[in-house]
Structure 1
Amino acid sequence: MQTGAVRERAATLSREPGVYQFLDGDRVLYVGKAVDLRDRVRSYADPRSERVREMVRRAASIDVAVTDTETQALLLEANLIKRHQPRYNVRLKDDKSYPLVQLTDHRFPRIEITRDPDPGATAYGPYTDKGQLETVQKAIREVAGLRGCSDHKFQNRDRPCLDHDMGLCAAPCTGEIDAATYADRVELATRFFDGETGALAEPLRAEMETAANEQAFERAAHLRDRLDVVQAFHGTGGDAVIDTGGSRIVDVLGVAVEGDGATVARLHSEGGKLVDRDRHRVQTPARGDGVPAILAAFVAQFYAERALPDTLLLPEPPESDDLEAWLEAEGVELRVPGAGRESRLIDLAMKNAHQGPDRDGAARALGDTLGIDPPRRIEGFDVSHADGREVVGSDVVFVDGQPAKTDYRRKKLPERNDDYANMDALLTWRAERALEGRDERADPDLLVIDGGRGQLDAAQAAIEAAGWSVPVVSLAKAEEIVHTPDRQFDWDHDATHLHLLQRVRDEAHRFAVQYHQTLRDDVSTVLESVEGIGPARRKRLFRRFGSVEGIRAASEAELLAVPGIGAETAAQLRRRL
């Protein structure tokens, strides 16, 4: 890199603590920590030694990761040096590093504590307190039933092991749990390590209260101690609490304006606890549109088809009389806090908004290799069927390298045993909806097709026929070869941009198989024989309870809570099941 390029890169960085890496392609040359990322990286524009000057010359790019504290930066730097062994870092000769927790890259992921994550695994950390981490890992296994065994022990089993008997594993090895349900449980662990304390704390609290009510006081005390550790894990001393004067549901919005677009971050709380966080990209037709205009447009469009919160906290007034009148008529309290706890929540939402771009460089590397802009929004497609019956298609969305599940869509397709025709139909449906303005989602930067050259050609023909201009690639599972309309790539198995495509491809496959299985269960279930239960009500019941067994175990009150299920129908269900 030239010194001018270093200064330009430094100017784009924040003044927060974090870790920076000098990269030569995928190879890490140097890892460093900083109290102020901008100042520290800028210092490399004037190297003070020949060794540092040589390192800067060799580097092609600089990547950064923002942390909340200097301590987190220190721990992350130590683990990155251990993992990558950069040429220009001073490296310790022992094996000590701080522990991480990983979810392995398997059909049924394994959760384990490690100092050296597996290739393709999703790793969280580093953490300083291994004892605390072990308690959290065991709590996750008790609640979600994730396996902890090695691949050798997992394979070729004919009966569950002792972990299943102890309530620590759902035994996917012997088919005691299906892949879709297991994936939902993996998502619980992911949500917790992403910072959503309540994802794990709430099931533990419910189990503790049940044990206390049953006078199993030793068990309740054990769960109480475990709950205390879980609540303190993310450094909050408990669940992230949003004190808003007793409001039941609160949304906090933050905005980061970036050229001709903006990122809106939303923090969502229920019952005073932070339960969800997401980010959304907003396109602004006029460069220079301010935060008030962006907020007005976002609130109107986002909540048009979603439930409104009781309270909406904004960084600035939306400056739209019509919007404020609508919110007032709907009973939503709109507040722009100036100080105190609510103001700090706005600051947190703003910080999340500014974390918009993909930080690990995968999207940047993918764009460079394909000759397109870095794809921030990627959609993945797959088709699933059983010999041409119950044909379905999936459309999943990743934004900044993370699943955006509220934007997932699925499509029932005509029954035929032709994968290419099915893919053509799926992409025609997506392209026509986008061009006709019937799809409220933003257009993607890249389409990823699960399959080989044949599926890619079918998808390309569909979008060209519709007149939709979006880059498209395909990725088949066998050889992991990436196909584009005019060439193919065989990337290294540890390439970060290949991992990004694999995650999108695998999620599209999982979502398609899950929907296909739901339809197969739907048509074969005993619910068909229950008077008054048609396809729409069956679908609602399966969405709420997951399976026939879940419906059978539901109380009358739980059945009545499902839209369309009245007292007479609930009574028939309980009699029949």
Structure 2
Amino acid sequence: MDSAAVRTRAGEFPRSPGVYLFQDGEAVLYVGKAVDLRDRVRSYADPRSARIRRMVERARTIDVAVTDTETQALLLEANLIKRHQPTYNVRLKDDKSYPLVQLTDHEFPRIEVTRDPDDSATVYGPYTDVGRVETVVKALRETYGVRGCSDHKFAGRDRPCLDYDIGLCTAPCTGEISREGYLTDVTSVERFFEGETGVLADPVRRAMESASQERQFERAAHLRDRLSAVEAFHEGGGDAVVARDGRTVDVLGVAIEGDRATVARLRSENGKLVDRERHVLSTPDPADGEAGDGREEDGVAGVLAAFVPQYYAERPLPDALLVPERPDDGEVAAWLEREGVSLRVPGAGREATLVDLALKNARRRVGRSDEGGALAEALAGAVPSLPARIERIEGFDVSHAQGRSAVGSNVTFVDGSAEKGDYRRKKLDDRNDDYGNMYDLLRWRADRAVAGRDDRPDPDLLLVDGGEGQLAAAREALADAGWDVPAVGLAKREEVVVTPAGRFDWPGDAPHLHLLQRVRDEAHRFAVQYHQTLRDEVRTVLDDVPGVGPQTRKRLLRRFGSVENVRGASVEDLTSVAGVGAKTAETLKRRL
């Protein structure tokens, strides 16, 4: 991206806290956080270092996720960096995370601040201020006497330890408190972490006032500071997620504009907000008669009723699903209940805040630049049979190594985003003929569509990676199969769009060009990935040589280029390859 493109894209972002991602196709190059997304992203139009300048030049798109607070942005940034491992981020190697608080799964639960919680524990967090967490945990222990000792120290005691003497523990280990009484105190601790601040703030405030009345001013000041920490604990979104006990929670927000709806999904795993994504749905026109079952398809409840079964049909269900409204199809709710999913419409508290946050991210999609509409308008007259707005694009590319291991890729983008569930790939006949390979790939796709053997809907546009030759081969395949779908090409070197009526050289910052580039680059990546997989799986006579495994075979072929060159190599050359010793080298010379 150039400076003008960065400024233009930044102008579309809100002045809100959140996280921004520079992306090259599907690859995330850099993740950052911001108090003001618009100002922060705009600053990249004038990078201050060569490294960041290279990153900006590589980037094709910038995406953002809105958060309520800077703290939430900080936590989401850290988890997105761990998930995507962006090239241009500084990444921790020790995989440490923010502190959590756990109550262990024990007859007498233990409270502990940890970064590595037990699988069976009840977990709260993550939090950004470890000092505040430790202050609050100590206050909870002084108020409710929940133990902090290890299970080893807890077992086999015949008298209370020092924690009992100084008021940090009620000593359940020696029966100083009954199990029922202890678990009642543990429940109070759980209520605090679930957002009921008064459970701890009220006792601390009473103790502070008592100390002040007794003129114990030093203790009163200490309790005042503790009360401040307790009251601030649940403010500012420090606990950015709701998942506990290792559960997964999905949060959905819906925004509707005209005949399009955007659903934003936030994902929490093991107590951490780890991902966000948006999906666009087309809502049917009531005049079309598609809502014959009486449902309000264009309302939030109707959108959720359509989205939830379609999205989760081929994906793992979460343990809990937070939504702004219940889906208006009772069968959807019944299905979720049968699958053990807790469907909730939160009215207040932290869960309601997360639904509001998902709604903010859904609204981010509504009103953004209409790449599909701009593309249809730019191609009008040059490509027949185009709709007024291009929503579904399929991209095609072929890859081979001088005719060997030839493969074809078929990727799908819907409303500008990759629809990976609709990706397909095909192994082609080995031949060094790009045009012939493209014909075979498009003929395969077209034949399946015409015969009704492809479960995907017909796309609005086909995009081939290449110029006039590849497009001509693709259009010939479509004509021979009788599949009437418009097609264009995108030449990589000149970034020129090729159509049956001529060539288009659009400005480098045109959003409709960026859309085609994303599809083209993803088709290329997917094809190369499949080609490399097949190339590495090709069986050679090296597989029959004792002592030569798959990794050693790859290193030999990478070093010498072919089996013939391996056959002609000297023992000294062979032993220079990692994993090949003198004995294996002699065996190779003898067997080859």
The two structures have a TM-score, normalised by structure 1, of: 0.53
Asked if 1:272 corresponds to 2:271, the answer is yes
Cα distance change on mapping 1:238 and 1:394 into 2, 3 Å: farther
CA apart distance, 1:402 = 4.4
**Offset from partner CA, 1:524-556 (integer Å, 9 cap, x none):** 4999779xxxxxxx9xxx9xxxx99xxxxxxxx
CA distance in 1, matches of 2:278, 2:63: 20
**One-letter amino acid matched to 2:315:** R
Cα distance change on mapping 1:100 and 1:304 into 2, 3 Å: same
Cα distance change on mapping 1:242 and 1:438 into 2, 3 Å: farther
Q: Is residue 451–residue 474 contact of structure 1 (8 Å, CA) maintained in 2?
A: yes
Structure with the greater alpha carbon radius of gyration: 2
2:52 to 112, 121, 141: 112
Q: Is residue 244–residue 270 contact of structure 2 (8 Å, CA) maintained in 1?
A: no
Moved more, 507-516 or 273-282: 273-282
After TM superposition, the runs of 4+ consecutive aligned structure 1 residues lying more than 6 A away are 30-33, 70-75, 100-104, 236-240, 525-530
5 Å matches for 1:328-343?
A: 328-343=337-352
Cα distance change on mapping 1:434 and 1:296 into 2, 3 Å: farther
Cα distance change on mapping 1:272 and 1:520 into 2, 3 Å: same
CA distance in 2, matches of 1:207, 1:514: 35
CA distance in 1, matches of 2:317, 2:500: 44
**Offset from partner CA, 1:37-73 (integer Å, 9 cap, x none):** xxxxxxxxxxxxxxxxxxxxxxxxxx84334269979
Q: Is residue 101–residue 123 contact of structure 1 (8 Å, CA) maintained in 2?
A: no
Cα distance change on mapping 1:362 and 1:280 into 2, 3 Å: closer
Alignment match, 1:205:
96
SS in 1 for 2:13: strand
Alignment match, 1:65:
13
Alignment match, 1:459:
474
Alignment match, 1:302:
311
1:383 to 394, 398, 401: 398
Alignment match, 2:192:
none
Q: Is residue 103–residue 122 contact of structure 1 (8 Å, CA) maintained in 2?
A: no
CA apart distance, 1:297 = 2.4
CA distance in 2, matches of 1:316, 1:416: 56
Asked if 1:249 corresponds to 2:252, the answer is no
Cα distance change on mapping 1:410 and 1:245 into 2, 3 Å: same
Aligned residues between the structures: 377
CA apart distance, 1:484 = 0.8
Q: Is residue 253–residue 313 contact of structure 1 (8 Å, CA) maintained in 2?
A: yes
1:427 to 410, 425, 442: 442
Alignment match, 2:490:
475
CA apart distance, 1:429 = 3.7
CA apart distance, 1:516 = 0.5
Q: Is residue 254–residue 346 contact of structure 1 (8 Å, CA) maintained in 2?
A: yes
CA distance in 2, matches of 1:422, 1:239: 55
CA apart distance, 1:272 = 1.9
CA distance in 2, matches of 1:321, 1:527: 61
**Offset from partner CA, 1:192-225 (integer Å, 9 cap, x none):** 8xxxxxx9679632899xxx99xxxxxxxxxxx9
CA distance in 2, matches of 1:348, 1:264: 12
CA distance in 2, matches of 1:293, 1:527: 60
Structure 1: gaps (5+ residues): 1-25, 34-62, 81-97, 105-109, 126-134, 145-183, 193-198, 214-224, 229-235, 531-537, 549-577
CA distance in 2, matches of 1:520, 1:239: 49
CA distance in 2, matches of 1:355, 1:440: 31
Q: Is residue 447–residue 472 contact of structure 1 (8 Å, CA) maintained in 2?
A: yes
CA distance in 1, matches of 2:457, 2:48: 31
2:505 to 450, 466, 490: 490
**One-letter amino acid matched to 1:68:** S
2:329 to 304, 315, 320: 320
**One-letter amino acid matched to 1:243:** V
Cα distance change on mapping 1:510 and 1:249 into 2, 3 Å: same
CA distance in 2, matches of 1:260, 1:123: 25
CA distance in 2, matches of 1:258, 1:27: 29
Q: Is residue 120–residue 494 contact of structure 1 (8 Å, CA) maintained in 2?
A: no
CA distance in 2, matches of 1:73, 1:143: 21
Q: Is residue 391–residue 516 contact of structure 1 (8 Å, CA) maintained in 2?
A: yes
1:76 to 38, 42, 49: 38
CA distance in 2, matches of 1:240, 1:441: 41
CA distance in 1, matches of 2:457, 2:360: 23
SS in 1 for 2:522: helix
Q: Is residue 251–residue 267 contact of structure 1 (8 Å, CA) maintained in 2?
A: yes
SS in 2 for 1:488: strand
CA distance in 2, matches of 1:441, 1:397: 10
Q: Is residue 256–residue 366 contact of structure 2 (8 Å, CA) maintained in 1?
A: no
5 Å matches for 1:514-553?
A: 514-524=529-539
SS in 1 for 2:357: helix
**Offset from partner CA, 1:171-209 (integer Å, 9 cap, x none):** xxxxxxxxxxxxx854x76xx8xxxxxx9679632899x
Q: Is residue 16–residue 36 contact of structure 2 (8 Å, CA) maintained in 1?
A: no
Cα distance change on mapping 1:415 and 1:468 into 2, 3 Å: same
Cα distance change on mapping 1:448 and 1:308 into 2, 3 Å: same
**One-letter amino acid matched to 1:323:** V
1:417 to 411, 423, 432: 432
Q: Is residue 327–residue 334 contact of structure 1 (8 Å, CA) maintained in 2?
A: yes
Q: Is residue 249–residue 271 contact of structure 1 (8 Å, CA) maintained in 2?
A: yes
**Offset from partner CA, 1:223-248 (integer Å, 9 cap, x none):** xx9x99xxxxxxx9999832145351
Alignment match, 2:574:
none
CA apart distance, 1:505 = 1.6
Alignment match, 2:363:
354
**Offset from partner CA, 1:294-326 (integer Å, 9 cap, x none):** 322222222222211111222211233333332
CA distance in 1, matches of 2:96, 2:541: 35
Q: Is residue 447–residue 470 contact of structure 1 (8 Å, CA) maintained in 2?
A: yes
Structure number with higher relative contact order (C-alpha < 8 Å, ≥ 6 residues apart)? 2
**Offset from partner CA, 1:98-120 (integer Å, 9 cap, x none):** 4579899xxxxx85268x95486
**One-letter amino acid matched to 1:309:** P
SS in 1 for 2:321: strand
CA distance in 2, matches of 1:119, 1:261: 31
